[in-house]
Chains A and B, each alone.
Chain A
Amino acid sequence: MSASLPASSPPASNGSEPVGAGFILKKAVLSALVALGLFSLMVGVRTEAGQSGQLEYWTRFGELASLVGAVFVGSIVVELLRLWLGPRGGLGSFVPASVQSGLSVAGRYLAPALLIFTLLVPVIFYNQRYILDLGILVLTYVMLGWGLNVVVGLAGLLDLGYVAFYAVGAYSYGLLSTTFGLSFWICLPLAGILAAFWGVLLGFPVLRLRGDYLAIVTLAFGEIIRLVLINWQDVTGGPNGISGIPRPSLFGIPLTPGPDGLAAMLGIPFSPTHRIVFLFYLILALALLTNWVTIRLRRLPIGRAWEALREDEVACRALGINITTTKLTAFATGAMFGGFAGAFFATRQGFISPESFTFQESALVLAIVVLGGMGSQLGVALAALAMIGGFELFRSLEVYRMLVFGLAMVLVMIWRPRGIVGHRSPTVFLEKSKSISSDLVKEGHG
């Protein structure tokens, strides 16, 4: 479709209008009028169910006026910025090329530096529980992002229900540990295998669907899993979820204050921080495992076949690649990593419920992958840090948090449609590894 057109296709019809004070003013007035229309009822009138259940309303013309005023001023500011930044204007042209090239050069040093820093986080911030918790959260999303990256970034299959596999992993551990008393280290691989199994089960019939049909089916699958978790009360505990999920042990040594706990064994005073630090390194190890496996897979025939599939499915078939099994392996691999992350989530929280596995979660992980620059491991890690960290920064905004978050998502996509890391690095080279501009890299149809 039109999506394949180059970005430099016919300019917008209003691109050639003369830009002057009158024009800017006219535009601002129009924007303000539109805002007035949009907000007139939604902001100007506030409704609420009263004491008797009867609906009441009151007006808020002050708020309405200030909002419209803000849009008026904002429009002028944006137009002036556009004038100042250049004729093509808009956020689209404001791509700092220096950041781009700088990133690719620094990329080689950035990744190790980031890794070393991450390893040191529990040492530096030992007494700051909040930062450690945030670090664990970010790393969980890094892992989820890397897992989904296999499916979306490498194989080019659009999966909108990734959270389903996260849920399968979490519930696998939750149920196996609470009903059969199995330990975390036995359940972890099981959770991965079960998630992969579900991936195959879903993938087998639907992977021949193309494009957005696949997207909606995966979305539907994610919803089915969530609804079953809510409604199958006997097994899953319904909306109340599962609580009392055992905490992980260091290969059998519990991190508890008791005499057989780790602290007692090492002869150091017990501190609850030990467990947090342990969890931090646990998720770091899991994430690094995901990363290591993905990097290796990319250099193996299976990984190359995934990327080839993203580039051109027809050519793959002509080269004797069985696209069904190739897609299935990508789906299952991604699902498996999701399952690992889910098991970790369950053991970290000690409690799981269907609320943690909504579509928003899938959308967030997908946003991390796309923002990272599809297929780039470093990009995904940076995007997870930016998104989750940014989301935390917005915490003070309280109810406005999702509003700002959504707007940020829109703006970031307009600013960098191809993500932070806009190039692909080859998996094999003769002389010199030259990175490939993302303009050439396809994003798949499936």
Chain B
Amino acid sequence: MDYFAQQLINGLVLGSIYGLIAIGYTMVYGIVGMINFAHGDVFMIGGFIALISFLVLVSVGLTAVPVILLIVLLVSMAITALYGWTIERIAYRPLRHSFRLAPMLSAIGMSFVLTNFSQVSQGARVKPVPPIVTGGYTLHEGESGFVVQLSNIQIVVVITTIVLLGLFTWLVSRTRLGRDMRACEQDQTMAALLGVDVDRTISMTFVIGAALAAVAGMMYLLYYGLVDFFMGFVAGIKAFTAAVLGGIGSLPGAMLGGLAIGLIETFWSAYFSVEYKDVAAFSILIVVLIFMPTGLLGRPEVEKV
């Protein structure tokens, strides 16, 4: 039971990270109808920027951990958002009204570019960081001596995720920008006719998605204590899996899917085999889609003939 509780905590933390990335996929999909294959790499870039800004801050003599964390968070969100904006501008906007596969391939190309850019500019070796947020609480001590722990970093990840989700939900449901986004999702031409700046709205979608990915990248850095140039691929695929599992286009679905993938992965590693954890996640995706062809929370597609 204790072991189970511990895995549950670990799974939820991992799931939060996936969920943050998944939101970026789902938002872009909802509004421009394409799989943004480069999004996983945007997450990776976010992790790198967090790492570098952390290093720089420490070396200039800053010691207060909360202050460092806050600055790192803001810097990586800002710069990564700029990446999101640039990618849309260069690789997707010219293909906005093009055929379905062209933007997808352009995205795959962009993903290669980002992976390689980071490999070239920061080297191929894994970058470890010392634990930044340390300590934690012991929740329960079992008779067998197994201890259920909740570390501070886990708390940071979960709280950051919840706060950002709250902020984000407010943004989408209550602000002008959110309304424009939902309008573009329904019908871009009509939205444009009614005075919505479609270009700007789509840009903002990428910016927000990238900012959330940056948060995920930073959380990943803090939680696992390392980044490398290739981490975007696997995390990206899994977050996309999460978005599809939750029902692509649905924001709560993305978070739900992220949590589901995080839990599946953690529990599978804990009870069966670590090697096959990804196989388990992907297999469950396939099984869920067979029975719910539009994911857990996706709107069923009705085709009028």
Contact = CB atoms under 8 A, between A and B. Distances in A.
Given A41-B49, A42-B48, A213 B244 contact: yes
A152 to B, nearest CB: 8
Given A55-B55, A205-B290, A42 B188 contact: no
A360 to B, nearest CB: 8
Nearest to A48: B123
A240 B203 CA distance: 45
Nearest to A211: B100
A41 B97 contact: no
Interface string A15-52: 00000000000000000001001111111011111000
Contact of A402 (B91, B115, B126): B115
Interface stretch (A95-103, A219-227, A322-330, A338-346): A219-227
Given A53-B128, A227-B278, A403-B116, A42 B95 contact: no
A296 interface: no
A227 B129 contact: no
B101 A374 contact: yes
A305 to B, nearest CB: 19
Interface string A48-69: 1100011101000000000000
A54 to B, nearest CB: 8
Interface string A184-224: 00000000000000000000011011101101110111011
A325 B52 CA distance: 54
B94 A91 contact: yes
A237 to B, nearest CB: 15
Interface stretch (B12-20, B79-87, B137-145, B165-173): B79-87
A311 interface: no
A421 interface: no
Contact of A367 (B35, B98, B105): B105
B119 A2 contact: no
B95 A414 contact: yes
Given A213-B244, A409-B105, A413-B105, A42 B91 contact: no
A57 B55 contact: yes
A12 B115 CA distance: 30
> Mostly helix, strand, loop or mixed at chain B's interface?
helix
B240 interface: yes
A268 interface: no
Interface string A408-425: 111001100110000000
B127 A5 contact: no
B120 interface: yes
A407 interface: yes
A407 B102 contact: no
Contacts of B278: 223, 227
Contact of A3 (B83, B98, B105, B115): B98
A6 interface: yes
A359 B51 contact: no
A37 B79 contact: yes
B112 A212 contact: no
A interface, by DSSP: helix, strand, loop or mixed?
helix
Contacts of A125: none
Nearest to A238: B275
Interface residues of A, number: 76
A384 to B, nearest CB: 15
B237 interface: yes
Instruction: Give the interface centre of A213, A314, A418 by most chain B CB atoms within 10 Å.
Output: A213
Contact of B293 (A39, A209, A231, A402): A209
Contact of A42 (B75, B122, B125, B293): B122
A175 interface: no
Contacts of A209: 289, 293
Contacts of B45: 42
A174 to B, nearest CB: 21
Given A38-B83, A209-B293, A406-B111, A417 B199 contact: no
Interface extent on B, as a size class?
35 or more
Contact of B95 (A37, A158, A417): A417
A426 interface: no
A363 interface: yes
A409 B95 CA distance: 13
A252 B275 CA distance: 41
A258 interface: no
B52 A57 contact: yes
B141 to A, nearest CB: 33
A410 B119 contact: no
A179 interface: no
Contacts of B119: 399, 402
A206 B118 contact: no
Nearest to A228: B279
Interface in A354-399: 359-360, 363, 366-367, 370-371, 374, 399
A216 B79 contact: no
Contact of A410 (B79, B91, B98, B116): B91
Given A9-B97, A46-B123, A413 B109 contact: yes
Contact of B188 (A2, A158, A370): A2
B289 A37 contact: no
B197 to A, nearest CB: 7
Interface stretch (B3-11, B153-161, B262-270, B280-288): B280-288
Contact of B33 (A1, A91, A228, A366): A1
A217 B245 CA distance: 10
Nearest to B294: A213
B105 A13 contact: no
B62 interface: no
12 contacts: A7-B97, A42-B121, A48-B127, A55-B127, A55-B129, A158-B101, A215-B35, A221-B286, A223-B237, A402-B119, A414-B91, A414-B106
9 pairs of A and B residues whose beta carbons are closest in the complex: A409-B109, A406-B112, A417-B102, A406-B113, A220-B282, A402-B116, A1-B33, A403-B116, A417-B98
Given A55-B127, A212-B35, A216-B285, 18 more contacts: A2-B96, A2-B189, A5-B97, A38-B86, A41-B53, A42-B48, A42-B121, A57-B55, A57-B59, A210-B301, A223-B282, A227-B275, A405-B109, A406-B112, A413-B105, A414-B91, A443-B99, A443-B100
